Amino acid sequence: MIRVCYYKGCGVVYGEKEPLSDKRTTRGLCPIHLKISLKEIKAEMEKYSMANREKQSQSAVLLLEK
């Protein structure tokens, strides 16, 4: 099967996988777009983590005030 990158319409052919005789295409991420996607996911997770920490801090302050 032929591997084609689907990241935002990239369309780059970046390899083949078993069975090699099968010429259908399969979608995935080429190495460059895989790195980009992982960085985007990491940044989103950090934003979520920071927001979560702020909420926990606010909750702790409210509990201490009581």
Q: How far is CA 42 from the centre of its chain?
A: 7
- pLDDT, residue 54, reads 79
- pLDDT, residue 62, reads 65
Domain count, the chain: 1
How are beta strands 13-16 and 2-5 bridged, if at all? antiparallel
Can you give the residue range of the structural domain that contains 34? Answer: 2-65
Question: What confidence tens digit (pLDDT) does each residue in 24-64 have?
Answer: 988 899 999 999 999 999 999 998 888 888 777 777 666 66
Identity of the residue numbered 4: V
- pLDDT, residue 61, reads 65
Question: What confidence tens digit (pLDDT) does each residue in 51-61 have?
Answer: 888 777 777 66
CA angle, 52 as apex, 50 and 54 as ends, to 5°? 70
Confirm whether pTM is higher than 0.75: no
Please give the Cα distance from 64 to 17 (Å, whole number): 58
Please give the Cα distance from 28 to 21 (Å, whole number): 19
